[in-house]
Amino acid sequence: MGMFSWDCNGCGFSLRECRGCSVDNWMSKGVCLTPDGSRVIGHYNAYGQLGEYNLVDQIGKFAIYHHACWEVAGRPEYDRPSHHSRDQGFCHAMHGQPLPKPTGPEWFVQAKMWQAVDRVLNAYAQLLCDIDHDREEGYWKSLSPERQLACCNEFEAARNARKERDHAAWEMYLRAADGDLEPPKKEPDPTHYKFDGINFDYMWLGHFVSMAKRDR
């Protein structure tokens, strides 16, 4: 199971364990409130554990706040259940900068503004991704089934050859007596791959090759 989390009932950002996305990692310290008045405070581990408390056992029955948001909001009691985070609690800074620790109620207005901007940027990124997908899919579908198969074989052969070169480089490095040698660097994947005169995006072509392989 991958990472998962819940959104803070105060600011709307997820409870997340990452020192790079919030100053002093304040977004990892949370408060869990339940309808019966119980309260748990601890650090979230990104997999359902808040301190010693297993949130998974109580899904839909608690409110989550960042501890800092809870303090700024006046230490409220349980009001409503928290929602699962769409970002799954993954570490990402807002516009490349760690989020500052809340110091007053104005934080909640600022957080909503940042989230609105973030939604627009995410929608734009998704639009660009969809455009890229449609373009590359058009290239792929322009090939006949026979040429698609040939492309798959050629693509996989080139990828395997790169892996073999990397493996050989490491074998040579491990056998070398000279301890001053630098470890070999992995041969990077190309950005594009040309086949039948079509300049495919390498990552997208890898996706279509994988899909074709699965459907064989």
pLDDT, one tens digit per residue, over 108-145 is: 998 888 888 878 888 898 999 999 999 999 999 999 99
Cα separations (Å) of 84 from 48, 81, 94? 11, 10, 19
Based on the structure, what is the number of domains in the chain?
Answer: 2
Let me know if residue 12 belongs to a domain.
no
Let me know if residue 115 belongs to a domain.
no
Let me know if residue 124 belongs to a domain.
no
Q: Apex CA 67: angle with CA 63 and CA 72, to 5°? A: 100
Let me know if residue 121 belongs to a domain.
no
Among 61-65, 164-168, 182-186, the range scoring the smallest mean pLDDT is 182-186
Reported as a single tens digit per residue, the pLDDT across 49-104 is: 888 878 887 777 899 999 999 999 999 999 999 988 877 655 554 556 777 888 89
Let me know if residue 46 belongs to a domain.
yes
Residue 128 is inside which H or E element, if any?
Answer: helix 106-141
Q: Answer with the one of 62, 89, 107 that is the final residue of a domain.
A: 107
Q: Answer with the one of 50, 83, 107 that is the final residue of a domain.
A: 107
Same domain, 34 and 86: yes
Rounded to the nearest 10 degrees, how much is the dihedral formed by the CA atoms of 103, 109, 110, 113? Answer: 160
State how far the Cα of 33 lies from the Cα of 41, in Å rounded to an integer. 9
Beta strands in the chain (DSSP E): 29-33, 39-43, 49-50, 53-54, 63-66, 192-195, 198-201
Domain that holds residue 150: 142-215
Let me know if residue 31 belongs to a domain.
yes
Cα separations (Å) of 182 from 15, 178, 179? 40, 10, 8
Q: Answer with the one of 107, 124, 154 that is the final residue of a domain.
A: 107
Same domain, 103 and 27: yes
Reported as a single tens digit per residue, the pLDDT across 11-33 is: 988 888 776 677 788 988 999 99
Higher pLDDT, 71 or 174: 71
Contact predicate 121/43, CB 8 Å: no
